[in-house]
Amino acid sequence: MSDCIFCKIISKEIPSEIIYEDENTLVFLDINPATKGHCLVIPKEHYETILDVPEDVLCKVIKTVKKISSALSKTNPGMSVVQSNGRAAHQEVDHIHFHVIPRSENDGQLLTWKAGSYAENESKSIANEIRSSITP
């Protein structure tokens, strides 16, 4: 896609610190890292979100996520894998990507959420709503 920054990274139109590349996927350093070594894993074809990407492509991307996690685990005790879809989830770049973020006990990052709770019977109706939305 011509105006996509990650497509431009794939085509080498704009520079990036590429870590790994195969036929279908690319890994490069996030320009504003949450921690040092924060990588982004993307498919080489342009798809916006997890809803758009075909399953076979997604499988290839997740295999690369595992490969890079494995490499990072040699020097980091923990790893957060983060993937956001849509503006409401603060997706900034509309080319599906997985963040692979090296973690250590006191790295100063939160990458977490406030724990919520359900009112009585609320979890049952929410669970039913989700179950009925699953396509076989």
Closest CB 124 distance from Zn ion, rounded Å: 41
Distance CA 74, CA 68 (A): 10
Residue 80 vs 127, nearer CB to ligand AMP: 80
Residue 24 vs 76, nearer CB to Zn ion: 24
List residues near ligand AMP by CB under 6 A. Answer: 5, 16, 30-32, 40, 84, 90-93
Give the chain as a 3 state SS string: CCCCHHHHHHCCCCCCCEEEECCCEEEEECCCCCCCCCEEEEECCCCCCCCCCCHHHHHHHHHHHHHHHHHHHCCCCEEEEECCCCHHHCCCCCCCCEEEEEECCCCCCCCCCCCCCCCCCHHHHHHHHHHHHCCC
Regarding 46 and contact with Zn ion (CB under 5 A), the answer is yes
Q: Is 97 a catalytic residue?
A: yes
Residue 90 vs 114, nearer CB to ligand AMP: 90
Regarding 38 and contact with Zn ion (CB under 5 A), the answer is no
Largest CA-CA distance found in the chain, in angstroms, rounded: 55
Regarding 57 and contact with Zn ion (CB under 5 A), the answer is no
Q: Which stretch binds Zn ion (CB under 5 A): 32-40, 63-71, 87-95, 104-112?
A: 87-95
Closest CB 84 distance from ligand AMP, rounded Å: 4
Catalytic residues: 97
Q: Point out which residues bind Zn ion (CB under 5 A).
A: 1, 4, 6-7, 46, 95
